């Protein structure tokens, strides 16, 4: 009997991982560092190398780098609101995180009351004047944010059709259970901002899979663990798709919280509590997802001296661009530099051939230089490194134990083996050193949903 295969693809900010599955077990896996390898080429090469294991279905989680959520990089979007609400971004948003330029905020005279009745009818003449301005400045994307449009979308639909005829890409808020207009508008605005770069990234994946399986068998996961075709997948929802898949595929069957120790983030994922919104840097966004907590200890936190002159971790992640100093390009010490000579870390797929002897030495020199201006009496690098390793694991374990919702907790992810000692004394914690658990969970969750719809 011929085996059937599934493909799970997890694309993060800096890493992508691929898992070919058969009967819920991995048969081939790969991780790539996206700063050094092309997403399309690496995925296509992975499929070619395992052409004898042609998957029937592919399930994908696609998360864009946070820097691309900035409209200055992804392109500004015009906003048309009900008159009197044109400054909602300034009132409800963050001064340091803008969703568009002030020059692209417009309003029209229209009003739907809280009971859904039309109070002031929308006039197309006002829309025509705004469309002319947008065409003049070559702005192609526009968001519609009309008060109470979720109760009565008559004005929203009229404006959408009119502006689409003018050749504009129009974005309207999704209908959700939340009555919070700001959360709906924020999500719509961010979806519009990243629509272009998301579509480009998605196209890379679809192109890479051409010839290996039909496009109709390629699905993208959303924030509630459902699957969609490429055309209908949501941009902002995708930010939580992998975490939700882990919670539903790993946590729910075991009735346990999931501590995911990834290369990019350390996350504590609930197996039963759902959040209807995301407290984003741009304000609240209406995104239904399994409760996910970003822990205080993260893999690329910076290292500095605190106000007492002692070694400590910063609250800012340095990220993988250019990455920890052990890669040879980074200029700032980060938490993972403390493990640069750890055999478990150096053998991780995607990193195993990236370690630079020169970079590791520069990290040691930097640590020694900081120690010379610290109040630490012991300047022995081995002692300092072990103390910082111990401090990070103690904080990680303490925070995870305090925040987990269930008595049982499952620790998984590519860095689970590196930090396993922090949890070995807890009888209620299970350590799964499966470094490709994210892409596996995506494949298994996607296939489960597909079977339920048949």
Give 188-242 pLDDT, tens digit per residue. 988 998 888 899 999 999 999 999 999 899 999 999 999 998 665 578 999 999 9
Say whether pLDDT at 92 is over 80: no
Residue 94 has pLDDT above 60, yes or no: yes
Would the pLDDT of 355 be above 60? yes
Q: What is the pLDDT, as a whole number, of residue 233?
A: 56
The region of weakest confidence among 67-71, 140-144, 330-334 is 67-71
Average pLDDT over residues 399-413: 96
Per DSSP, the residues of 138-155 read T--EEEEE-TTTTT--HH
Grade residue 93 by pLDDT with cuts at 50, 70 and 90: low
pLDDT greater than 80 at residue 89: no
β-pairing, 118-120 vs 78-82, is unpaired
Contacts of 260 (CB under 8 A, 6+ apart): 243, 246, 266, 267, 268, 269, 412, 413, 437, 438
Answer yes or no: are the C-beta atoms of 152 and 112 closer than 8 Å: yes
Residue 230's pLDDT is 63
Kindly tell me the burial class for residue 197, based on how many C-beta atoms sit within 10 Å of its own C-beta (0-12, 13-18, 19 or more).
middle
Residue 101 — very low, low, confident or very high, per pLDDT cuts 50/70/90? confident
User: Mean pLDDT, to the nearest integer, of 349-372?
Assistant: 94
Q: Which residues pair with 334 in a beta bridge?
A: 302
Q: How high is the pLDDT of residue 217?
A: 95
User: 3-state SS string over 415-432?
Assistant: CCCCCHHHCCCCCCEEEC
Poorest-confidence range of 82-96, 342-356, 382-396?
Answer: 82-96
User: Does the pLDDT of residue 130 top 50, yes or no?
Assistant: yes
Query: In whole angstroms, what is the distance from residue 141 CA to residue 169 CA?
Result: 5
pLDDT per residue as tens digits for the range 104-125: 999 999 999 999 999 999 999 9
Token pair of 136 as six digits: 């003049």
* Predicted local confidence at residue 1, as pLDDT: 36
Give the 3-state secondary structure of residue 445.
Answer: helix
Mean per-residue pLDDT for 434-445?
94
pLDDT at residue 22 in the model: 94
- DSSP, collapsed to helix, strand or coil, labels residue 269 as strand
Asked whether the predicted pLDDT for residue 172 surpasses 70, the reply is yes
Closest CA relative to residue 272, chosen from 296, 294, 256, 293? 256
**SS3 assignment, position 53:** coil
Q: Evaluate if residue 341 carries a pLDDT over 50.
A: yes
In 3D space, the residue among 288, 260, 286, 284 whose CA is nearest the CA of residue 274 turns out to be: 288
Of 273, 245, 270, nearest in space to 258 by CA: 270
| For range 245-268, the mean pLDDT | 97
Three-state DSSP class for residue 288: coil
Of the two residues 454 and 154, the one the predictor is more confident about is 154
CB atoms within 10 A of CB 65: 18
Instruction: Report the range of poorest mean pLDDT among 45-59, 81-95, 241-255, 433-447.
Output: 81-95
Q: How confident is the model at residue 103 (pLDDT cuts 50, 70, 90)?
A: confident
CA–CA separation, 392 and 394 (whole Å): 6
Q: Report the alpha-carbon angle 95-101-102, nearest 5.
A: 80
Residue 178: the pLDDT is 67
Instruction: Give the distance from CA 417 to its chain's centroid.
Output: 23
pLDDT given at position 30: 97
pLDDT classification of 303: cutoffs 50, 70, 90: very high
pLDDT, mean over the chain: 91
pLDDT of residue 133: 95
DSSP per-residue letters across 157-199:
HHHHHHHHHTT-EEE-PPP-S---HHHHHHHHHHHHHHHHHHH
């Amino acid at each position: 009997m011929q085996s059937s295969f599934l493909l799970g693809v997890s694309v993060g900010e800096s890493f992508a991982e691929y898992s070919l599955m058969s009967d819920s077990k991995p048969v081939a896996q790969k991780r790539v560092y996206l700063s050094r390898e092309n997403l399309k080429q690496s995925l296509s090469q992975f499929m070619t190398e395992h052409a004898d294991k042609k998957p029937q279905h592919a399930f994908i989680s696609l998360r864009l780098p946070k820097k691309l959520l900035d409209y200055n990089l992804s392109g500004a979007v015009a906003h048309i609101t009900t008159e009197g609400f044109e400054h909602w971004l300034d009132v409800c948003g963050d001064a340091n995180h803008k969703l568009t330029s002030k020059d692209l905020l417009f309003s029209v005279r229209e009003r739907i009351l809280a009971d859904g009745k039309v109070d002031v009818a929308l006039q197309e003449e006002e829309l025509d004047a705004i469309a002319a301005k947008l065409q003049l400045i070559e702005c192609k994307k526009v968001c519609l944010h009309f008060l109470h449009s979720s109760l009565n979308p008559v004005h929203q639909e009229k404006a959408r059709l009119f502006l689409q005829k003018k050749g504009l890409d129009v974005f309207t808020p999704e209908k959700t259970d939340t009555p919070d207009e700001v959360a709906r508008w924020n999500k719509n605005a961010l979806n519009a901002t990243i629509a272009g770069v998301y579509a480009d990234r998605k196209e890379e994946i679809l192109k890479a899979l051409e010839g290996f399986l039909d496009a109709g068998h390629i699905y993208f996961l959303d924030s509630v663990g459902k699957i969609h075709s490429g055309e209908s997948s949501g941009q902002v929802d995708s930010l939580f798709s992998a975490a939700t898949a882990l919670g539903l595929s790993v946590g729910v069957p075991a009735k346990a919280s999931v501590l995911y120790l990834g290369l990019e983030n350390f996350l504590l994922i609930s197996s039963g509590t759902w959040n209807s919104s995301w407290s984003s840097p741009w304000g609240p966004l209406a995104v239904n997802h399994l409760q996910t907590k970003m822990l205080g200890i993260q893999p690329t936190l910076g290292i500095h001296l605190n106000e007492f002159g002692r070694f400590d971790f910063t609250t800012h992640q340095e990220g993988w661009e250019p990455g920890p100093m052990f890669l040879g390009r980074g200029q700032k010490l980060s938490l993972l530099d403390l493990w640069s000579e750890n055999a478990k870390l150096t053998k991780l797929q995607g990193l195993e051939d990236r370690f630079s002897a020169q970079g590791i030495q520069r990290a040691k020199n930097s640590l020694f230089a900081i120690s010379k201006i610290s109040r630490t009496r012991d300047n022995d690098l081995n002692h300092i490194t072990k103390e910082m390793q111990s401090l990070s694991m103690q904080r990680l374990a303490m925070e995870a134990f305090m925040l987990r919702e269930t008595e049982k907790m499952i620790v998984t992810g590519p860095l689970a083996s590196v930090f396993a000692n922090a949890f070995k004394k807890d009888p209620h914690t299970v350590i799964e050193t499966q470094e490709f658990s994210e892409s596996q969970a995506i494949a298994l969750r996607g296939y489960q949903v597909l079977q339920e719809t048949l």
